[in-house]
Amino acid sequence: MDEGLQERLEKFGFSLYMIRVTLAASLSWMVVHAMYGNEFSYFAPLAAILITQGTVKASLEKGLCRLLGIVLGGSVSLTIGHFFDVGPLSILLILLIGLGVATACRINFQAITQVGVTSVLALTFFQDHYVVFRATDTLIGVAFALLFNIVIVPPKGFVNVKNTALAGTLLLADGLSGLAPGRDEKDQREALKRAGELLKDSAQKQNEMLFTLSHIPCRNNLSVMKQSITHLQTMHGYVKEIATELRLLPPHYAAADWMKQTLTATSDCIAIFGAKTLSNTECDGSLPDALRRARQLQLTSFAELQGSCPLTAIRDLGAVFSHLNRLLDEVERADFAVCSAAPQRARAHASRAVRVVKKGLSHKL
């Protein structure tokens, strides 16, 4: 689907989720009605509507829970129905047995709920073929829901994830460099909040791409991006803690030039990591050099303060510098994780190429 077309459709309420649900429900009903033409054909579109989620994984999990609940609840209900008529006692027994077994087996809560629903319906419609029909119809609805989850995906999904994560990274770096007094506190909080929202949104978009058609050509890059976003969310937590600690410092410490330089040097490391990992453009700075400079500034500034500050100020400043150091460690870990993943892929491609060449030579010989 074209990106511009998607935006125009969403203005009129035609979201990707709505399109998936509509197509899955309609086609599942058509297939079941063509196969059986029975009165229970509505279970297929109902299943398609209920289990369609934002990701393929979530839809599959919900579909399996629904099928498991139908089989367990239907089996218990048909067994009890041979001995009791529909009534309070029979419903009490099937719910006690069905829900009790499901709970004892530590089955997912959604499956437990489905056990109760199926048990009551199977007892009400008491027919030997009811459970088979309903399980089959539900399976067809689940299959169509998964199919459209896999096929109908946002256009340029991978590029959008990268751009969203990069925007959140740069905003996080800008938010850290602007934590020193002199900038509006409301703007600081909004910048950090917006950075967290962008990183969370990028993580959600990345999860939505898993196991879809868009996932196939960029599955290796998505794995690297997932690691990067996870580390960036950890960095966001450290920056929020630094902001809290800085607000507790006396203004003449928080607004000092050495504090501004230290914050700027640390924020440069975040920005360089984001540009290196999430951008296709060449990065101007070297991340190892930026990390060394930031650590040196931290050590120099803190060492100079020890002889001129009271113990209480050193204690509070130590909390700030401790979080700054942890932030740099997290940047270093993130860079190592991303760099170590790329050579593995390169070695894998190289080994496959060597095997192909050898195989070709052996055929010629």
Q: Are residues 338 and 189 in the same domain?
A: yes
Cα–Cα distance, 124 to 94 (Å, whole number): 12
Task: For 12, list phi and psi in degrees, rounded to 5.
Answer: -100, 15
Enclosing domain of residue 350: 156-362
How many structural domains are present in the chain?
2
Per-residue pLDDT, 135: 83
Of 279, 251, 250, residue with least CA distance to 173: 279
| 56 Cβ neighbours under 8 A, 6+ residues apart | 146, 149, 150, 210, 211, 212
Cα–Cα distance, 119 to 69 (Å, whole number): 9
Other Cβ atoms closer than 10 A to 91:
18
pTM of the entire structure?
0.71
Cα–Cα distance, 338 to 125 (Å, whole number): 57
Q: Which residues of the chain fall short of a pLDDT of 70?
A: 1-14, 38-40, 125-128, 180-185, 281-285, 341-365
Q: Are residues 85 and 231 in the same domain?
A: no
Cα–Cα distance, 179 to 200 (Å, whole number): 22
pLDDT by residue (tens digit) across 186-240? 777 888 899 999 999 998 888 888 888 777 777 778 888 888 999 999 999 999 9
Per-residue pLDDT, 4: 54
Q: Are residues 143 and 96 in the same domain?
A: yes
Domain boundary among 121, 136, 151: 151
Residue 263's domain is classified under what CATH number? 1.20.120
pLDDT by residue (tens digit) across 57-85? 888 888 888 888 888 888 887 777 777 77
Domain boundary among 119, 151, 183: 151
